[in-house]
Amino acid sequence: MAKHSETSGIWIVDDDRGVRFVLAEALRDAGWHVREFEETAGVRKALRDATPALLVTDVRMPGEGGLVLLEELRARQIGPVIVMSAYTDVATTAAAYRAGAVDYLAKPFDLDQALAAVQRALAEAAHPEPISPAPLAPAHALLGESAPMREVFRLIGRIAASDLNVLVTGETGTGKELVARALHEESARRNKPFVALNTAAIPSELLESELFGHEAGAFTGATRRVAGRFEQAEGGTLFLDEIGDMPLILQTRLLRVLAGGEFYRVGGRELIRCHVRIVAATHQDLDARVAAGLFRADLKHRLDVVRIELPPLRQRRADIPLLAQHFLANAAQELKLPPKRFSKAALKAIAQRDFPGNVRELENLCRRVAVIASGNEILPADLGKSTQAPRGDWTDALRDWADRALELGEAEIHARAREAFDRVLLEAALAANEGHRQHAAAALGVGRNTLTRKLGTSRPRRKS
Ligand SMILES: Nc1ncnc2c1ncn2[C@@H]1O[C@H](COP(=O)(O)OP(=O)(O)OP(=O)(O)O)[C@@H](O)[C@H]1O
């Protein structure tokens, strides 16, 4: 490796001597000239005679913090700067990127990772990307301290300010929606709407108008013009959950909108331009769905510009105690119960459990014990037996849909919901029974005639 002593080298600022020493030695071994500082005051002094080729700084130190120095260096166009910190929550990570950091190392870090970050930063220094300044965003409740979650926070911090579409993948209940919200909160769009739509929860014939809105008279029950989610999210972020389940016909429509940035309401003639950032999520293997012909490859490319993979809870058990205590405290507060806490043994027992329903299942367990446990300290015996993961309750989605339809004063709400309900059951039963009507009817516990009658009536009612 080439010697870099012709530049003023790499400067490391950290009040922790151990970190400084280990990092400095590794960088020197790699051929760089390194200067060490234990506080930012020393850096300011040194800046009178020299500038670093790269600065690596801690965030919280006695005296002035690293981010203040970072902002000043950015103003003077000195850098690049890599930030390292044991504080790895989304807000701190994103604040570092906003202040101008080119990378963020979560302590404790791997030395190879640090060396790679230094090399990358120096290589990219010739083409620095502008980072728009923005005020600190409020902290939000995406919690975690495990290595995989730190990586997720790092990624969120890095890409929040961009307008790139993001695909969040992960099993059910891993926090995909919270990640989408964090991306929104940390972006310049934070004062605009965040709108979420679960594409799997909406009957396919209603999905188009949910997304793009409709004009009065566009179909039976459309008594007045209604704005779709795209319009509602204008300038902000649209979160499309369960994107893998979107019917192909709508995938085509969505693709056109994403490509052209404009759309018509259902039954409308006015072309509407949209400036919405899309964060999509799925618990399915989207590549497999593309291979099976169930998902459009071109749409996947549009959505999957940056991917954030949320690991299942079993791969980040280190987060369980933190999450459990948070959920227990929240549940007690919400339910107006006296504060409760887990005994050490109970926390240990929880951390060893399997949670097929991931964070959502852990949250439900904490709510349950908050109510059931009699004492203020939760003991292992209070936890009960591990149960199978409760799946996301579809009636929640139905309730949301009904609330909205009622609020908008839509017509024939009951009939439309019933139709959708029947159709989903019938389609599922027919699919599970290879199209055999009698078997499908038996599986559902209805007579064959009922099934045939319902098949006859549960058709889309769009007029045109
Ligand atoms: N890291 C986390 N910190 C705090 N709360 C979390 C975290 N991850 C998930 N949760 C909570 O767990 C529940 C499920 O999270 P969320 O709805 O974001 O999951 P999801 O992956 O979108 O689920 P699904 O695939 O079923 O839609 C929510 O109540 C959320 O607040």
Widest Cα–Cα separation across the chain: 90
pTM of the entire predicted model: 0.66
**What separation in angstroms does the CA of 454 have from each of 29, 179, 357, 416, 425?**
75, 40, 34, 13, 10
Same domain, yes or no, for 360 and 452?
Answer: no
Are 175 and 142 in contact, with CB atoms under 8 Å apart?
yes
Helices (H) and strands (E) in the chain, counts: 19, 14
- 27, 30, 33, 39: CA torsion to nearest 10: 0
Chain mean pLDDT for the chain:
85
pLDDT at 462: 39
d(CA 384, CA 32): 57
Kindly give the distance from the C-alpha atom of residue 324 to the centroid of ligand 1, in angstroms, as a whole number. 13
Single-letter amino acid, residue 324: A
Residue nearest to atom 15 of ligand 1 (CA): 175
pLDDT at 409: 80
Residues near 13 by beta carbon (within 8 Å), at least 6 away in sequence: 37, 38, 39, 40, 42, 43, 55, 56, 57, 58, 61, 66, 69
Q: Is the CB of 172 under 6 A from ligand 1?
A: yes
Report the percentage of the chain scoring pLDDT > 90. Answer: 46
| pLDDT tens-digit readout, 272-323 | 999 999 999 999 999 999 999 999 999 999 999 999 999 999 999 999 999 9
Label residue 372 by pLDDT band (50, 70, 90). Answer: confident
Kindly give the distance from the C-alpha atom of residue 219 to the centroid of ligand 1, in angstroms, as a whole number. 36
d(CA 56, CA 118): 9
Closest ligand 1 atom, residue 179 Cα? 18
Is residue 301 assigned to a domain?
yes
Find the helix or strand (DSSP H, E) in which 231 lies.
helix 229-232
Residue nearest to atom 29 of ligand 1 (CA): 360
DSSP state of 127: S
DSSP state of 226: B
Same domain, yes or no, for 109 and 182?
Answer: no
Kindly give the distance from the C-alpha atom of residue 172 to the centroid of ligand 1, in angstroms, as a whole number. 8
Query: Which of 88, 167, 177, 284 maximizes ligand 1 atoms within 8 Å of its Cβ, making it the mutation to test the pocket?
Result: 177
Kindly give the distance from the C-alpha atom of residue 203 to the centroid of ligand 1, in angstroms, as a whole number. 23
Same domain, yes or no, for 297 and 337?
Answer: no
Find the helix or strand (DSSP H, E) in which 332 lies.
helix 320-334
Label residue 447 by pLDDT band (50, 70, 90). Answer: confident
Query: Which of 174, 198, 283, 322 maximizes ligand 1 atoms within 8 Å of its Cβ, making it the mutation to test the pocket?
Result: 174
For the ranges 344-353, 389-398, 438-447, 452-461, the lowest mean pLDDT is seen at 452-461
For the ranges 55-64, 146-155, 233-242, 387-396, the lowest mean pLDDT is seen at 387-396
The parent domain of residue 22 ranges over: 10-124
Closest ligand 1 atom, residue 177 Cα? 18
Are 57 and 13 in contact, with CB atoms under 8 Å apart?
yes
| pLDDT tens-digit readout, 321-340 | 999 999 998 888 888 888 88
ipTM of the complex: 0.97
Same domain, yes or no, for 172 and 259?
Answer: yes
d(CA 352, CA 362): 12
Same domain, yes or no, for 349 and 298?
Answer: no
Residues near 437 by beta carbon (within 8 Å), at least 6 away in sequence: 430, 448, 451, 452, 455
pLDDT at 456: 61
Is residue 395 assigned to a domain?
no
CATH of the domain at 206: 3.40.50.300
Closest ligand 1 atom, residue 180 Cα? 18
Q: Is the CB of 363 under 6 A from ligand 1?
A: yes
Is residue 284 assigned to a domain?
yes
Q: Is the CB of 142 under 6 A from ligand 1?
A: yes
Kindly give the distance from the C-alpha atom of residue 191 to the centroid of ligand 1, in angstroms, as a whole number. 22
| pLDDT tens-digit readout, 231-275 | 999 999 999 999 999 999 999 999 999 999 999 999 999 999 999
Task: For 22-73, give the DSSP string.
Answer: HHHHHHHHTT--EEEESSHHHHHHHTTT---SEEEEESS-SSS-HHHHHHHH
Is residue 435 assigned to a domain?
yes
Kindly give the distance from the C-alpha atom of residue 148 to the centroid of ligand 1, in angstroms, as a whole number. 16
